[in-house]
Amino acid sequence: MPEFAKRMETMKKSADVIRTLFGSMNDPDLISFGGGAPAKEALPIDTVREIINDIMRKETRGVEALQYGGVKGLEDLRKVIVDELLGPKGVKANVENIIIINGGLEAMNLLCQIFIEPGDVILVESPTFVQSVEIFDMFQAKCVSVDMDDDGMNTEELEMKIKKYNPKMVYVIPTFQNPTGRTLSLERRKKIALMGSEYDVIILEDDPYRDIRYSGEEILPIKAFDESGHVVLANSFSKIFSPGSRLGYILANDEIIEKLFDAKTATNSHTSMLPQIVCAEFFKRGYYPEHHKMICDLYRERRDVMMTCIDEFLPEGTKKVFPDGGLFTWVELPDYINTTDLLSESISNSEVKVAFVAGEGFFAEGNGKGSNCMRISFGSVTPEKIKIGMAKLGKLIESKIK
């Protein structure tokens, strides 16, 4: 066997975390607060069937759906993004500055292709989304962590680290962050946008949870404060439409988007046509507002049940994030509880069988930070199962109390 490429060594750690996460999802007896998938009730199956029946004819969009398409993505889907998703959120965009990609995750890949040389520094939140770090590792970037608090990434530390490391990119998940559920404050969004131009660094704003806000006030994206084009906005249809359709998009200035078109062409020519058409029609036929309300109502109820259960079943001294949207909360247990050990016991103990994601793996710095933390995803678990699962988890944790 020839030698594997060096980059596979650096990818291993984050790949292992992801495998553990997905590995536990297929056990039917397990109550899983692990994955970040949307609820199955939030997938618009009937509407999609109706749309597909209609479009898959020669006289409608059947040929277009099965034929090659353009690298930028479907024009009507890009228009939906500009008019229905970005415009109302305070981002003025031109259809020509949007590219449709294969799931939001492809944004990280394409951005690295066009900007990252081995050894370049990317500043990331501490903790951050593991799959993005896996991509950054694949490009042999050096991820340096910036601390967070309840208002998101600490901008004083960010500025200090920009000066110290001269990074190529800052990666930030500003709204209902994965893994913490925290939201970056308005003040900090403005500051980060400014730092982009002041220090000539790309701000990669990855915002797939923004559109599922079910309480609190809207906050404008970082991109809304970008005057120099240093902010690149990535988003996804996974949480508001369907993750299996693998649809996402990037908004970037002229210079960057041209390079992204080149990288996308070289990677996979374009995103699959059928999901793009179905998604565009879903919005154009006016299904989104009602669907959006339905998913927000669903997740709000689950969030509320989860918050009550954390207070009721987890030990005194536990800290939690109250998210105004998205699918996650972040729980900090008393220091002496190691959540990696707790997770293996919780999954394997037949009296418990509850999964979550242990905190440690989300810290790019990897020095044991977050070992008493866990990400709890409440989005895809029914309120009844949330209560059962949290009661069992609480009991297991109680047995560890010193």
Ligand X SMILES: Cc1ncc(COP(=O)(O)O)c(C=O)c1O
Q: Which of 38, 73, 174, 248 binds ligand X (CB under 6 A)?
A: 248
Number of residues that bind ligand X (CB under 6 A): 13
Q: Is the CB of 107 or the CB of 116 nearer to ligand X?
A: 107
Q: Is the CB of 181 or the CB of 196 nearer to ligand X?
A: 181
Q: Which of 236, 346, 372, 380 binds ligand X (CB under 6 A)?
A: 236
Q: Which of 20, 24, 32, 36 binds ligand X (CB under 6 A)?
A: 36
Q: Using the rule CB under 6 A, is 238 a contact of ligand X? A: yes
Q: Is the CB of 148 or the CB of 314 nearer to ligand X?
A: 148
Q: Using the rule CB under 6 A, is 104 a contact of ligand X? A: yes
Q: Are 260 and 252 in contact (CB under 8 A)?
A: yes
Q: Are 158 and 192 in contact (CB under 8 A)?
A: yes
Q: Is the CB of 248 or the CB of 361 nearer to ligand X?
A: 248
Q: Is the CB of 37 or the CB of 93 nearer to ligand X?
A: 37
Residue 69 in tokens: 């398409």
Report the number of secondary-structure helices (H) and strands (E) in the chain.
13, 14
Q: Which of 34, 73, 103, 181 binds ligand X (CB under 6 A)?
A: 103
In the complex, what is the shortest distance from the CB of residue 178 to ligand X, in angstroms, rounded to a whole number?
4
How many other CB atoms are there within 10 angstroms of residue 401's CB atom?
A: 11
In the complex, what is the shortest distance from the CB of residue 103 to ligand X, in angstroms, rounded to a whole number?
3
Least Cα distance to 239 among 33, 23, 22, 39 occurs for 39
Q: Using the rule CB under 6 A, is 162 a contact of ligand X? A: no
Distance CA 382, CA 349 (A): 22
Site string for ligand X, 166-195 (x = CB under 6 A): -------x----x-----------------
Q: Which of 62, 229, 243, 366 binds ligand X (CB under 6 A)?
A: 243
Which class for 67: exposed (0-12), middle (13-18), buried (19 or more C-beta within 10 A)? Answer: exposed
The distance of Cα 310 from the centroid of its chain, to the nearest Å, equals 23
How many other CB atoms are there within 10 angstroms of residue 162's CB atom?
A: 21
Q: Is the CB of 181 or the CB of 208 nearer to ligand X?
A: 208
In the complex, what is the shortest distance from the CB of residue 17 to ligand X, in angstroms, rounded to a whole number?
13
Q: CB neighbours of 68 closer than 8 A, spacing ≥ 6? A: 269, 270, 273
Distance CA 53, CA 48 (A): 9
Distance CA 77, CA 276 (A): 7
In the complex, what is the shortest distance from the CB of residue 177 to ligand X, in angstroms, rounded to a whole number?
7
Q: Is the CB of 69 or the CB of 243 nearer to ligand X?
A: 243
State which residue has the least CB distance to ligand X.
103
Stretch of 99-107, 110-118, 137-145, 161-169 lying at the interface with ligand X (CB under 6 A): 99-107
Q: Are 182 and 150 in contact (CB under 8 A)?
A: yes
**CA distances (Å), 398 to each of 3, 314, 385, 394, in order?**
48, 8, 20, 6
Longest dimension (CA), the chain: 70
Q: Using the rule CB under 6 A, is 326 a contact of ligand X? A: no
The distance of Cα 108 from the centroid of its chain, to the nearest Å, equals 11
Q: Using the rule CB under 6 A, is 241 a contact of ligand X? A: no
In the complex, what is the shortest distance from the CB of residue 402 to ligand X, in angstroms, rounded to a whole number?
34
Q: Using the rule CB under 6 A, is 73 a contact of ligand X? A: no
Q: Is the CB of 105 or the CB of 153 nearer to ligand X?
A: 105
Q: Are 226 and 194 in contact (CB under 8 A)?
A: no
Q: Using the rule CB under 6 A, is 206 a contact of ligand X? A: yes
Q: Are 321 and 150 in contact (CB under 8 A)?
A: yes
Q: Which of 71, 85, 105, 112 binds ligand X (CB under 6 A)?
A: 105
Q: List contacts with ligand X (CB under 6 A).
A: 36, 103-105, 129, 173, 178, 206, 208, 236, 238, 243, 248
